[in-house]
Chain A
Amino acid sequence: QSALTQPASVSGSPGQSITISCTGTSGDIGTYNLVSWYQQHPGKAPKLMIYEVINRPSGVSNRFSGSKSGNTASLTISGLQAEDEAHYYCCSYAGTYNWVFGGGTKLTVL
């Protein structure tokens, strides 16, 4: 399984919205509505932000939203805040209890 493709970095100013894309294949994102997104601050464990493409776990801000079209999933963060600065990773179920992650995107809040 090849890693999903994410931009290496994105940036935005406080209050703005940004979108991070995640491109896979017909064998993962294209087949399964089982895309999840993780936020990771330096030196910390990842935190689940979105699951099943669009769902937010309890406690995650509604400023975070997910979507999918074809083989590409996206994470949108609206109303950017300084605390959103982190690395973000997408992940897709790839069948037979295998998962594939994206390479990660560093979000900088200007």
Chain B
Amino acid sequence: EVQLVESGGGLVQSGGSLRVSCAASGFTFSSHSINWVRQAPGKGLEWVSYISATGSSVYYADSVKGRFTISRDNAKNSLYLQMNSLRDEDTAVYYCARTVKYAFDMWGQGAMVTVSS
């Protein structure tokens, strides 16, 4: 089955760190760029970060730049988001989403990250 599955969400204190993961299956993971998109409770979608197919290029939204790091392991068909210096406003469901023709054609089910002060 073609899918993306996030894991690693949870509750963390403000200022703390957390890593969320995304496992891909059913397609050639190493051929696709992947993104993280988040959604705060009751709010809209916000693009967070992009990584190219090889991992050589990464980009971030201004809201997370310097605090979050995106990476991937193509041998393990896995994507990661290391989140440091977490703030209350980072509380959200974090989705991994595959890029095709500058759109997000496949999404995972999401991982909930709650930052508590």
Residues in B whose Cβ lies below 8 Å from that of A32: 102
Q: Does A45 touch B at the CB level, under 8 Å?
A: yes
A64 at the interface (CB under 8 A from B): no
In the bound complex, do residue A34 and residue B102 qualify as a contact, i.e. CB atoms below 8 Å apart?
yes
Which of B45, B57, B104, B109 has the most C-beta atoms of chain A within 10 angstroms of its own C-beta?
B45
Q: Is the interface of B mostly helix, strand, loop or mixed?
A: strand
Which of B95, B102, B105, B110 makes the CB contact (< 8 A) with A57? B105
Counted as pairs of residues, one from A and one from B, with CB atoms less than 8 Å apart, the total is 67
Chain A residues within 8 Å of B107, by CB: 45-47
> Cβ of B47 and Cβ of A45 under 8 Å apart?
no
Chain A's nearest CB lies how many Å from the CB of B74? 18
Once A45-B108, A96-B59 are accepted as A-B contacts, the answer to whether A101 and B102 lie under 8 Å apart by CB is: no
* B44 near A103: Cβ-Cβ < 8 Å: yes
A-B contact pairs, 13 of them (CB 8 A): A1-B62, A34-B101, A34-B103, A46-B45, A46-B97, A97-B59, A99-B35, A99-B47, A99-B50, A100-B47, A101-B44, A101-B45, A103-B44
